[in-house]
Amino acid sequence: MTSEILYESPNHKFIYIGKDVDRPDYIIDTNQYLLIHDDVATIIDPGGIEMFSSVSSAFAGEVRMSNVKFIFSSHQDPDVVSALALWLSITDSKIIIDRIWSSFISHYGAKPNNMIMVEDGGMKFNMAKDYAFDIIPAHYLHSPGQLNLYDPISKILFTGDIGAALIPKEDLKSKRRPNVFVKDFDNHIKYMEFFHKRFMPSNEPKKIWIDRVSKLDVEMIVPQHGLIFKGKDMVNRFLNWFDSLNLGIYSK
Ligand SMILES: [Fe+2]
Ligand SMILES: [Fe+2]
């Protein structure tokens, strides 16, 4: 596993873990994140059941499992949260997810008393005594109940499947340490295009989302697959590219 500290101050940390070059070819590559403020931690999109042992041992080097109080799930997909039952067995945490998926993720072991259901409009979430992150709606991109997380301290926007890229495994293996950040945006487009066009239904939710996130001060866009868009220039390049892309029913 490759890890990278995306932001660090004495009481606040945003950590990336992913690019597992040993994963089998038939499993999609996922990015996992850990947000720590004081002694409270949130795991962001913990990943699939097959990733649990490598992700949990990587996170155990960063945080005490007893300090993990929340698991943020951008949406209901198995690559996002099928390991939920295992995470709930080693942490005393609550799962944060869009209300429409609450009864579905019960199949992953969640129960009403350990769920925080988010309404359509999103919310500010008080994670620690003096710290809150923003839960931002990103519905239909691609899941009809998709949530983003914005950390106002690091100015990192976690976008779930928005900005996702499927990087060929050979590309990851060819380097001593896999890239974490997008270096060449134009070259990166080919890894993103199909997913956004095929999995996202139409342009309307995209316009609403771009309008919404354009009002935020974003230093980094961190997706659930692929590479991170670091710096305002890269963030804007991604938003401009996404804005001009025809999705779903418009993509023919
Ligand atoms: Fe998904
Ligand atoms: Fe995904």
Q: What is the pLDDT of residues 116-169, one digit of tens each?
A: 999 999 999 999 999 999 999 999 999 999 999 999 999 999 999 999 999 887
Query: Which residues sit with Cβ closer than 5 angstroms to ligand 2, an ion?
Result: 79, 161, 224
Query: Please, what is the angle between helix 232-244 and helix 203-213, to 10°?
Result: 160
pLDDT of residue 130: 95
Distance (angstroms) between ligand 2 centre and the Cα of 225 equals 6
So what's the architecture of 2-250 in CATH?
4-Layer Sandwich (3.60)
Residue 20's pLDDT is 82
Q: What is the mean pLDDT of the chain?
A: 95
- How far is the C-alpha of 27 from the C-alpha of 96, rounded, in Å? 25
The CA 179 to ligand 1 mean position distance, Å, reads 22
User: Percent of the chain beyond pLDDT 70?
Assistant: 100
Q: Is the pLDDT of residue 170 over 80?
A: no
> pTM above 0.95?
yes
Distance 195 CA to ligand 2 centre (A): 10
What's the pLDDT score for residue 164?
98
Q: What percent of the chain has pLDDT over 90?
A: 88
Residue 23 binned pLDDT confidence (cut-offs 50, 70, 90): confident
Q: How far, in Å, CA of 83 to CA of 87, rounded?
A: 6
How many A from CA of 147 to the centre of ligand 1?
A: 11
> For the chain, what is the radius of gyration of the CA atoms?
17
pLDDT digits (tens, 9 = 90+) for 82-130: 999 999 999 999 999 999 999 999 999 999 999 999 999 999 999 999 9
**Whole-number pLDDT of residue 199:** 97
**Taking residues 31-42, what's their average pLDDT?**
98
E strands, the chain, in order: 2-9, 12-18, 32-37, 40-44, 68-72, 94-98, 115-118, 123-128, 131-137, 147-151, 156-160, 220-223, 229-230
